[in-house]
Amino acid sequence: MKIAHIFSDSAPEYNSTRYRGQIPGDALIRAGHTVSYLHIDTWMKDSRRSDLSDADIIVIERVLVEESIQRAQYWRERGKAVVVDIDDAYQLLQPFEESGNQASKFWRDGIVDITYADGSKVEKRLGIKPLDQFRQGLRHCAGLTMPSKILADDWKAYAKCWYVPNYLNQRDYLPFYQNKLPHHSDEIIIGWGGSMSHKISFEKSGVATALRNVLRQRSQTKLMICGDQRIIDIVKCPPQQAIHQPYVTWNEWPRVFSRFDIALAPLHGRYDHSRSSLKLAESSTMGIPIVATGCPTYSEWQAADVGWFIPDGEENALRDRESLWETRLLDMIDHYPAYLEKARSQHDRDYAQEWWVDRRVDDIAATYEEIIQSVK
């Protein structure tokens, strides 16, 4: 099979492209398929490249502005399977002031930043709402791929949807596997990494208040936040118990992740439920105990009994969730050896391997073949 993957991330971002493009694409190459990678700017400027004309399927990361739609229409009219990949619930974004999510300015409000030659910047509101344009553009595509069944359910009214999970390249993580946890006998590090798009995740899951209470009761515990430092401000933890790790590149992340003794994956609401289950794949591969929100994002992990989970719920149940998070985290700290033994059991390790990309590359190829057949 020949695949052309159109990636959209810039070099400083390189997150969606890593998991939605390079990791599965490189695994497909190792399995004997042909994959070419093109940046979105190239896709929109040159519609007749040989790597496109030779491709059996063209995968576009999330961008369906006018020029991209024109290219999709051009190749669809020539019998190509053109599919758009999304990994975020753009239609559910809350206002920037509430969510802290930079993407909401574009997808929700249709506002883009324009930079002039002199370096000055202005905001411009687009004439058509990006979500409306995106939905219209889907008419010229075979459908959508996404790493979330919730996302697929929300978009099936607009196009055919195929579930393609985010898989892990275990080669990135296993060199950093820690044989001894906790790292220090007199210290437990609770860790999390991400951006301010998780502001609501911390505020409404109940974990922020729980962490504050846990840190007050267990002075040997520290909270390590990797990425946006403002998450520490949401928790309001004592400065001496806070560790901030600035953003790192993708290849540095596994080393940073390996510093955790306990990992966190808090979520809240349908926007969060539309995320992938990557944090569970990371923690299970590394044998690090993790406590996460029990929600559709992690339903497969819950069914497999891998990880520990706090139920999500309505706003009026926030205090209950805070209490459950607090109780679980205190128990993990006080009985860490038992949790570590479970996280490193053969059962959990075997299940983690089900999310390694080379184990699932045939599933990815089969999905792409199904998409190709759907347009014939």
- Helix or strand (DSSP H, E) at 314: none
Q: What is the pLDDT of residue 217?
A: 97
Peptide bond into 182 cis (omega under 30): yes
Mean pLDDT in each 10-residue stretch from start to end of the chain (376 residues)?
92 83 97 95 79 94 91 93 94 74 73 71 78 93 97 96 97 96 96 93 96 97 95 94 95 97 97 96 98 96 98 86 97 98 98 98 98 94
Q: What is the pLDDT of residue 279?
A: 97
Q: What is the pLDDT of residue 48?
A: 67
Q: What pairs with residue 365 in β-bridges?
A: none
- Helix or strand (DSSP H, E) at 234: helix 230-235
Separation of first and last alpha carbons in the chain:
15
Q: What is the pLDDT of residue 363?
A: 98
Residue 255 and residue 19 in contact, taking contact as beta carbons nearer than 8 Å: no
**Hey, what domains does the chain have and what are their CATH numbers?**
2-118+129-167+357-374 (3.40.50.2000), 170-353 (3.40.50.2000)
What's phi and psi for 45, nearest 5 deg? -95, -30
Instruction: State the DSSP string of 80-110.
Output: -EEEEE--S-GGGPPPHHHH--THHHHHTT-
Residue 310 and residue 329 in contact, taking contact as beta carbons nearer than 8 Å: no
SS3 301: helix
111-115 and 121-125 beta bridge pairing: antiparallel
Give the distance, in angstroms, between the CA of residue 267 and the centroid of all CA atoms in the same chain. Answer: 12
pLDDT digits 0-9 by tens, 246-260: 999 999 999 999 999
Residue 227's region, left for phi above 0, alpha for psi from -120 to 50, else beta, is left
d(CA 330, CA 191): 15
Q: Which of 193, 310, 178 is nearest to 246 (CA)?
A: 193
Q: Which of 285, 325, 277, 324 is nearest to 301 (CA)?
A: 277
Q: What is the pLDDT of residue 47?
A: 60
d(CA 291, CA 324): 11
